Structure 1
Amino acid sequence: MKVIVFGASGMVGYGVLRECLVDPLVTEVMVVGRRALGRQHEKLTESVQPDMSDLSTVDFAGYDACFFCLGVSSTGMTEAAYRHITYDFTMAAAKPFAEANPDSTFTYVSGMGTNANGRQMWARVKGKTENDLLAMPFKAYMFRPGYIQPMYGATSRTALYRIALTFVAPLFPLIRRLAPNAVTTTEQIGRAMLHVAREGAPKQILDPKDINALR
């Protein structure tokens, strides 16, 4: 299986990339991002794209799945700026990928509470993104994780999240026992993405419970 990963420098993308590289059924992984990861692996190739809204130089043909993990926090951002990164970047990847691989799988990391008609700005933007992806010809799956525990060296690029995760990490086993349907890990998200790429899933919008059920 050949896959593309967007956002591999972020916490979720890092975890997804790791699972792709250790999975024996994945033969090739292309990472697309604004800067090189500086990582070497026999399966891995990189496409550095300074302008993520124009991916005309990326060859999307021949891939079985695209795992789109690129995203930013909406904190302190205007709606226009947040939409540019969240919606425009996603569409810039999804449209040519769908044209090149209409029978493939596209997974998108969204968030709990996403709603195109919601009151919160980020929820509306992600909701619009989800709806447009679901209307495309490929098999689209929306991942809506809640609390995400980073694994195997994955770290958030958002300073506030890093601080919060540092304090919460020791409590993760307790949180998982008390609220098993609200938490997941970067490892499980990666495994679940590979699962839907190979076998699909019962539904297209997946919450933490659905993500954790896919192996």
Structure 2
Amino acid sequence: MGKTRSENHVIITGTTGMVGEGILIKCLESSEIDSILVINRKPCGYVHPKLKEIIHQDFLNLSPIENQLKGYNACFFGLGISSVGVNEDTYYKMTYILTMHVAQTLAKLNSGMTFCYVSGSGTDSTQKGRLKWARVKGKTENDLMKLPFEQVFNFRPGFIKPIERQKYAHKFYKYINWMFPIGRRIFPNGFCSMDELGNAMINTLSHNNERKVLEGKDIIALASEPS
């Protein structure tokens, strides 16, 4: 008799953005994922038997929905903003404070949870570099790994090739996707596909008690692991 697979119940944030939506698509398609909860400020537009959606405006106050966040063994955190055109205080609040609040809440409610955070290529783990955004991302990664999760994976993708059927992919991608195979050959650590990022996150669930920072090559390798 074959080994019985453990059930996987996943929370995904940011599914009205390109990265979160791509992760959602891969989880909906995966036989490894049994149920999905998405938390959004507006409807994501997807309907599926294993999908549940909570519309919630204030991610800095999760107390009204806390009871609905129990019973999950993973969070794929795709929520975030660009630092371009955003003042430092707002970027810090929406990147560090918001992420840590959600993570601390989930760590309290769910023992044995895997937390996957979408960070970014160039993130500064030392928190001492000259780029403010890179220091903030680095602090977020470092402090997530201190929380009492079963495991934490910080993903640092660079250029991400979206899935063609995505609704929330930036329009400019259709004009620059031709660059992907060239960039992949020249700088493989900076180019991965949304398929690879989603599959890599799903494959973290077969690991045990790890805390890792995953650059582009690591994401590609993890995506290719047998489930």
Taking structure 1 as the reference length, the TM-score comes to 0.92
1:156 to partner: Cα distance: 5.5
Partners of 1:27 and 1:90 in 2: CA distance: 25
Give a deviation string over 1:161-206, Cα, whole Å, max 9, x none. 642x233211212222222222101111110001112225976000
CA, structure 1 residues 113+155, in 2 after alignment: closer, same or farther (shift >3 Å)?
Answer: farther
Paired with 1:156 and 1:131, the residues of 2 have a C-alpha distance of 29
Partner-residue secondary structure (3-state), 1:187: helix
**CA positional deviation for 1:31:** 0.3
Q: Given the alignment, which residue of 206, 211, 221 partners 1:213? A: 221
Given candidates 180, 199, 205, the residue that maps to 1:197 is: 205
Contact 1:16 1:190 in 2 (8 A): yes
Q: Displacement of 1:87 after TM fit?
A: 1.2
Report the identity percentage: 41
Q: Aligned-pair distance for 1:57?
A: 2.3
Gaps of 5+ in 2: 1-7
* Aligned 1:1-215 pairs, distance under 5 A: 1-58=8-65, 59-115=68-124, 116-138=127-149, 139-154=151-166, 162-163=171-172, 165-200=173-208, 204-214=212-222, 215=224
Q: Answer whether contact 1:71 1:85 (CA < 8 A) is retained.
A: yes
How many Å separate the matches in 1 of 2:209 and 2:196?
15
- Per the TM alignment, residue 146 of structure 1 is displaced from its structure 2 partner at its CA by 1.2
CA distance in 2, matches of 1:118, 1:162: 32
Report the 3-state secondary structure (helix = DSSP H, G, I; strand = E; otherwise coil) of the residue aligned with 1:127: helix
Q: Is the 8 A contact 1:145 1:184 kept in 2?
A: yes
Q: TM-score, normalised by structure 2?
A: 0.87
Secondary structure of the 1:181 match is helix
Hey, what's the Cα distance between the residues in 2 that align with 1:125 and 1:57? Answer: 28
SS at match of 2:178: helix
The secondary structure found in structure 1 opposite 2:189 is: coil
Alpha-carbon RMSD: 1.7
CA, structure 1 residues 155+180, in 2 after alignment: closer, same or farther (shift >3 Å)?
farther
1:25 positional shift: 1.9
Q: Following TM superposition, by how much is the alpha carbon of 1:108 offset from its aligned partner in structure 2, in angstroms?
A: 0.3
Once the two structures are overlaid, the 10-residue window that deviates more, 145-154 or 204-213, is 145-154
* Structure 1 unaligned blocks of 5 or more: none
Paired with 1:195 and 1:201, the residues of 2 have a C-alpha distance of 13
User: In 2 relative to 1, CA 201–22 (structure 1 residues): closer, same or farther, beyond 3 Å?
Assistant: farther
Q: Do the aligned residues in 1 keep the contact of 2:121 with 2:190 (CA within 8 Å)?
A: no
How many residues are paired up? 211
Report if aligned partners of 1:143, 1:211 keep a CA contact under 8 Å in 2: yes
Q: Deviations over 1:115-146 (max 9, x none)?
A: 12221111111111111101001111100011
Report if aligned partners of 1:61, 1:100 keep a CA contact under 8 Å in 2: yes
Aligned residue identity for 1:120: L
